[in-house]
Structure 1
Amino acid sequence: MKLILDPCCGSRMFWFDRANPAVVFGDQRRETVTVTDRSHGREDGTRTLNIEPDFLMDFRALPYPEASFKLVSFDPPHLVRAGPKSWLAAKYGKLSQDWREDLRRGFAECFRVLDDHGVLVFKWNETQIKVGEVLALTPEKPLFGQVSGRKGMTHWLVFMKRAASDSAQGGPA
């Protein structure tokens, strides 16, 4: 049984166990990208990235019924501007010009497939869009979070989905 969904897995870069049997790794692309990048000291001056999801999927329209997962890891693309041969765009993906609606739908879908009291771990880098602009796209509020990265631009936020009975009884937020 799969308990965890990562609908934007990319190269699974932050996963310690990239083949964890409890996780459905999804992405909207399956590709191997090789780019010129002399910053990492490889003799041929290239860098290769493998995007190999278990299933192709769009985080805005997840192919699962409601309450399917206990945990969702949501690390959507965070770039709106990137060149066609950009290493960052290859690594993280690129949002469309309608990024607000894309992310609004992505949050809604991630919460839809979460079980009651399920946990959503959200990762966002503020290189081009501030985290506050993104959080305004969901009515859900994070429980806690952490800022990381060399420049303090990456945010890790944790949410918990309320059960319908919680809000009626004033239960957990």
Structure 2
Amino acid sequence: MTQLVLDPCCGGRMMWFNRDDQRALFGDIRSEKHTLCDGRAFNITPDLNMDFRAMPFSDESFRLVCFDPPHLRHAGRESWLRAKYGILSDDWQDDLRRGFAECFRVLKPEGVLIFKWNEIQIPTRQILELTPHKPLFGHPSGKRADTHWITFMKGQS
């Protein structure tokens, strides 16, 4: 089956209803196994180890990309937050700028990008400044409305 959806930062696939959905290609720079503080296993097992800043796909390969990059600048080296969500590098602005560019590059014309961001450490407005693409709509969620789901649509080529 040809995958129509790309998740280039899949982590533990926490947002997926079906973590083995065959329509999606799950990528991540990490392949790791963790035991969380409550004893549960938390595994990052991508279909493909890849870097969202330089994806190994042809232009216009996917109809949908869900981009949920690390959102933390600071987290303890052994913390469950770091294990679950990863951590941004010191060059996080350039990393995310390149990530957005890559997501739009691999999207087909009129393809959809779903972007998820938690602004607990970096405000969403700062992140949206890293791409020239303008979102269609979005919604804050969570107990403190810190997580934002934002939808973009690529233009026609």
TM-score range relative to shorter protein: over 0.9
Q: In the aligned structure 2, how far is the partner of 1:142 from the partner of 1:69? A: 18
Q: In the aligned structure 2, how far is the partner of 1:94 from the partner of 1:51? A: 14
Q: In the aligned structure 1, how far is the partner of 2:77 from the partner of 2:39? A: 16
Corresponding residue number in structure 1 for 2:18: 17
* Deviation (angstroms), 1:163: 1.3
Corresponding residue number in structure 2 for 1:80: 73
Q: In the aligned structure 2, how far is the partner of 1:88 from the partner of 1:152? A: 18
* Number of residue equivalences: 156
Structure 1 length-normalised TM: 0.88
If you compute each CA radius of gyration, which structure gives the higher value, 1 or 2? 1
Deviates more, 1:19-28 or 1:115-124: 19-28
Q: In the aligned structure 2, how far is the partner of 1:60 from the partner of 1:93? A: 15
- Which residues of 2 match residues 1-173 of structure 1 at below 5 A? 1-35=2-36, 37=37, 45-164=38-157
Q: In the aligned structure 2, how far is the partner of 1:80 from the partner of 1:133? A: 14
Q: In the aligned structure 1, how far is the partner of 2:52 from the partner of 2:41? A: 24
- Give the CA RMSD over aligned residues: 0.8
Q: In the aligned structure 2, how far is the partner of 1:24 from the partner of 1:16? A: 15
Q: In the aligned structure 1, how far is the partner of 2:119 from the partner of 2:6? A: 23
Matching residue's letter, 1:20: D
Q: In the aligned structure 2, how far is the partner of 1:49 from the partner of 1:80? A: 21
User: Secondary structure, in 3 states, of the residue corresponding to 2:40?
Assistant: strand
Q: Which structure 1 segments of 5+ residues have no match?
A: 38-44, 165-173
Q: In the aligned structure 2, how far is the partner of 1:81 from the partner of 1:18? A: 27
Structure 2 length-normalised TM: 0.97
Calculate percent identity across the aligned residue pairs. 59
* Deviation (angstroms), 1:86: 1.0
